[in-house]
Amino acid sequence: MTVRSEKNSLTKSLGVALLSGTLSLTAGSVLAQEKMPPEQSMSSLEYELIGRDDLWTYKALPEYHEAPYLADMVAEGKLPPVAERLPSEPLVMLTGAMVDGIGEYGGVFRHVIGGRPEGWNHLAGQHQGWGGINMAMQECLVRTGPLWQVKAEDQSGPLPNLAKSWEWNEDNTQLTMHLVDAKWSDGDPFDSEDVRFWWEDNVQDPNVASWMPPEGMGEGTTMDVIDAYTIRFNFTEPQGPGRVNSLTYDTGCPGPSHILMQYHPKYNPDATYESYRTALPADELPPVILGAWVPVVHRPDEIVIMRRNPYYWKVDENGNQLPYLNEMHFKLTTWSDRTTQAVAGTGDFSNMENPGNYVEALRQSQSPDSPTKAEFGPRVLSWELQLNLSETLGVEDEVDAELRTFFRNKDFRIALSHALDRDAIGQSVARGPFTYPHPGGFSVGSPFYDYDSTVYYGFDQEKANTMLDALGLTDTDGNGIRNMPGTGADMEIDLTYDNGEATDKKQVDAVVQMLGEVGISILPRPVDDPGPLADAGNFNMMEGRNHWVIPTYGTCDHIPVSATCPNWHLTDEAGNRNLFDWEQEMVDAFNLMQQTWDPVEAANAAKTIQKNWTENVYTVGLVQAPAALLINKRIKNAHPGTPVFMFNWAEDNIVRERLWTASEDQIDELLPGTIPEY
């Protein structure tokens, strides 16, 4: 899908292959005249990188402490002592990686989101709420978000999380992982059985739309339970450290087998796959999770309130059980309101990602008494037009069918690219220096973006017209619109986009005008949620945000690594899909990244993808923009270098379990003294 690249990645991503920092090799040359203009980064992020082992470790500490109200509950016999609730060796967040150090307990963190919880059964593909609810609830075998803080030479795969360590056999065909002996939020032990249930009865069950597709750990991969806290993946071919990244959010996150098994058709003859998917509705609380805060109140379109998980399995170096913050709010409004409220100080956090707001938000956040500060990162957000390359899916008549033959024609796609004045599109989105043309492929702020591998078909209306003429597209009936040679129909293309996003609307308006000028009529089709149309491949042209930054995060949003993706080139019901050779080359390059132990080889594979994508105009890029993170100044340990999006979104990058607020700055809790009750 297009609207939120993440959403699709979540549906289908194959995970992330993190590579070493040696990413600036020169790649094969491309036509000298088809190059991108120079880019002026707006990033003001400055920070020192640390070693991967400086972030956290696992060890038993001599004593443990907890939020005072939990200690009271222990004294009243309502909870077991903290040492019994924690693992034998908890995950210990190291003080050296915290800008403000060890925290104080208490207080509230206020999110504002445009997302809504769909339901709590994420194992069956539901989302619990974009904008930070998902990430607060799910814990995954490994973690990648905080890798932005790690030195290039230490970027050899993900960070440990539920899997505290792992090792490979000699020929790299077996990966053995050791699990932390954490507890679920209801006190039930987390163990290999939960991982087995996730893998066997969800990922590998073709009837369950798991976030990880069945081939997400490689074709033919199996998993064995070795003992209660050890699992092993067996691969059909040798793999590299990149493969482990598939086990990060949100593809590698187990759910509570002790709750879910009773609803799964394999264990319950009365259940169906649909009843399983919806077994944990968003109005039944609290769900059982491994995350730091548990939803306890959900008032639809109003608020989700989350309270600390008394069984959370992470501590600081003084043995204080995390998180520090007692309560989290998610006000359920709009994405744009998230920025407005962060700037006004009624929200604590925003990924500022709507360039139309930037000038005003920057102006307000620069005053010394502003509650927040805007810090721009590199340009990682990009928008594009996707042309449906399927010959059959969503094709309703012979006109659609003929349109698709043009979409599949490289010269047609190049002509569209030449018809677009991306500087003007950018200025219509936000006046000023914010946007930069997007040629497709990796965003310019990605560590994997390579200038020399990027082909750019910039604005040249005359060239666009010449190319369209040469394709036999001429205006035979004099109405200003080119006619297609086969059906004789006007070249009229429906363009689906999200009507809730001003950034998209402005780009669509510009595209309508610019393509109109070369005789192509665009019929805008605004919809509330393009997701279902996108996922079904039921569109001709789609506009939306779909940025690619780390090659293996959200892979399925971008290249055909599975039959179920990307949305603009899906396999049809009969199993047909006619991939181009250069699409297959991108998939092969990605597979190499998952298998190699040589970072130079992996970096070169990313260049192969970039070159194939941009030379062939796989999608017609529009513009790319930086994002800025807004965090209320009262929040401590919010590292100033945190990117809005890199290995993951800022909600993960900022490591919320170690955020805190000085007691004098703490906001009153709505549900003081409470824990989730089961």
Q: Which residue from 571, 584, 499 is spatially nearest to 537, judged by alpha carbons? A: 571
Alpha-carbon gap, residue 599 to 663, rounded angstroms: 46
Single residue of 4, 277, 506, 656 touching ligand GLA by CB under 6 A = 4
Pick the stretch among 33-41, 51-59, 129-137, 492-500 that binds ligand GLA (CB under 6 A).
129-137
The interface mask with ligand GLA, positions 602-641, x = CB under 6 A, is ----------------------------------------
Element (H or E) spanning 346, and its range? none
Shortest spacing between CB 128 and ligand GLA, in angstroms: 10
Task: Tell me the two tokens of residue 16.
Answer: 């992330």
Shortest spacing between CB 340 and ligand GLA, in angstroms: 14
Single residue of 1, 2, 6, 205 touching ligand GLA by CB under 6 A = 6
Cβ contacts of 368 within 8 Å, gap of 6 or more: none
Single residue of 87, 131, 439, 560 touching ligand GLA by CB under 6 A = 131
3-state secondary structure of 232: strand
The interface mask with ligand GLA, positions 79-118, x = CB under 6 A, is ----------------------------------------
Alpha-carbon gap, residue 588 to 590, rounded angstroms: 5
Q: Which is closer to ligand GLA, CB of 371 or CB of 643? A: 643
Q: With beta carbons less than 8 A apart as the criterion, state whether 548 and 446 touch.
A: yes
Shortest spacing between CB 507 and ligand GLA, in angstroms: 16
Element (H or E) spanning 332, and its range? strand 327-332
Q: Which is closer to ligand GLA, CB of 555 or CB of 648? A: 648
Shortest spacing between CB 105 and ligand GLA, in angstroms: 26
β-strands 91-93, 314-316 pairing: parallel
Shortest spacing between CB 342 and ligand GLA, in angstroms: 12
Shortest spacing between CB 43 and ligand GLA, in angstroms: 17
Provide the β-strand partners of residue 308.
Answer: 293
Shortest spacing between CB 127 and ligand GLA, in angstroms: 8
Shortest spacing between CB 435 and ligand GLA, in angstroms: 18
Cβ contacts of 64 within 8 Å, gap of 6 or more: 82, 83, 86, 315, 319, 320, 321
Task: Give me the count of residues in the chain.
Answer: 678
Amino acid symbol at 21: G
Q: Which is closer to ligand GLA, CB of 132 or CB of 447? A: 132
Q: With beta carbons less than 8 A apart as the criterion, state whether 375 and 640 touch.
A: yes
Q: Which is closer to ligand GLA, CB of 194 or CB of 651? A: 651
The yes or no reply on residue 353 touching ligand GLA (CB under 6 A) is yes
Alpha-carbon gap, residue 197 to 15, rounded angstroms: 20
Shortest spacing between CB 284 and ligand GLA, in angstroms: 22
Task: State the number of binding residues for ligand GLA (CB under 6 A).
Answer: 11
The yes or no reply on residue 335 touching ligand GLA (CB under 6 A) is yes
**301 class by beta-carbon count within 10 Å (0-12 exposed, 13-18 middle, 19+ buried):** exposed
Q: Which is closer to ligand GLA, CB of 351 or CB of 465? A: 351
The yes or no reply on residue 649 touching ligand GLA (CB under 6 A) is yes
Pick the stretch among 73-81, 124-132, 252-260, 663-671 that binds ligand GLA (CB under 6 A).
124-132
Q: Which is closer to ligand GLA, CB of 339 or CB of 540? A: 339
Alpha-carbon gap, residue 54 to 504, rounded angstroms: 41
Instruction: Give the CA distances from residue 240 to residues 167, 584, 586, in Å, rounded to whole numbers and listed in that order.
Output: 11, 21, 18
Alpha-carbon gap, residue 41 to 376, rounded angstroms: 9
Q: Which residue from 510, 507, 506, 520 is spatially nearest to 464, judged by alpha carbons? A: 520
Q: Which is closer to ligand GLA, CB of 316 or CB of 651? A: 651
Shortest spacing between CB 10 and ligand GLA, in angstroms: 8
Element (H or E) spanning 523, and its range? strand 521-527
Q: Which is closer to ligand GLA, CB of 352 or CB of 399? A: 352
Provide the β-strand partners of residue 58.
Answer: 91
Sign of CA dihedral 552, 555, 560, 563: positive
- The b/e string for 307-346 (b: 16+ C-beta within 10 A; e otherwise) is bbbbbbbbbbbebbbbbbbbbbbbbbbebbbbbbbbbeee
Task: Tell me the two tokens of residue 491.
Answer: 């070249």
Sign of CA dihedral 70, 75, 77, 80: positive
Cis, peptide link before residue 323, omega less than 30° from 0: yes
The yes or no reply on residue 404 touching ligand GLA (CB under 6 A) is no
Q: Which is closer to ligand GLA, CB of 199 or CB of 335? A: 335
Alpha-carbon gap, residue 475 to 470, rounded angstroms: 13
Single residue of 245, 321, 351, 386 touching ligand GLA by CB under 6 A = 351
Q: Which is closer to ligand GLA, CB of 199 or CB of 376? A: 376
Q: Which is closer to ligand GLA, CB of 55 or CB of 654? A: 654
Q: Which is closer to ligand GLA, CB of 138 or CB of 321? A: 138
Pick the stretch among 96-104, 130-138, 169-177, 414-422 that binds ligand GLA (CB under 6 A).
130-138
Q: Which is closer to ligand GLA, CB of 145 or CB of 599? A: 145
Q: Which is closer to ligand GLA, CB of 609 or CB of 623? A: 623
Alpha-carbon gap, residue 288 to 601, rounded angstroms: 42
Pick the stretch among 11-19, 131-139, 433-441, 608-616 that binds ligand GLA (CB under 6 A).
131-139
Shortest spacing between CB 136 and ligand GLA, in angstroms: 10
The yes or no reply on residue 130 touching ligand GLA (CB under 6 A) is yes
Task: Tell me the two tokens of residue 315.
Answer: 């501590």
Pick the stretch among 127-135, 140-148, 314-322, 397-405 that binds ligand GLA (CB under 6 A).
127-135
Q: Which is closer to ligand GLA, CB of 132 or CB of 287? A: 132
Shortest spacing between CB 4 and ligand GLA, in angstroms: 4
Q: Which is closer to ligand GLA, CB of 351 or CB of 562? A: 351
Pick the stretch among 126-134, 142-150, 309-317, 533-541 that binds ligand GLA (CB under 6 A).
126-134
Shortest spacing between CB 335 and ligand GLA, in angstroms: 6
Shortest spacing between CB 252 and ligand GLA, in angstroms: 16
Q: Which is closer to ligand GLA, CB of 229 or CB of 649? A: 649
Q: With beta carbons less than 8 A apart as the criterion, state whether 600 and 420 touch.
A: no
- DSSP H helices, 331-452, are 335-344, 358-365, 398-407, 410-419, 422-429
Task: Tell me the two tokens of residue 519.
Answer: 């005789």
Alpha-carbon gap, residue 409 to 499, rounded angstroms: 29
Task: Tell me the two tokens of residue 588.
Answer: 């092969």
Shortest spacing between CB 117 and ligand GLA, in angstroms: 12
The yes or no reply on residue 490 touching ligand GLA (CB under 6 A) is no
Alpha-carbon gap, residue 590 to 561, rounded angstroms: 8
- DSSP code at position 61: -
The yes or no reply on residue 651 touching ligand GLA (CB under 6 A) is yes
Query: By the criterion CB under 6 A, which residues form the site for ligand GLA?
Result: 4, 6, 130-132, 134, 335, 351, 353, 649, 651
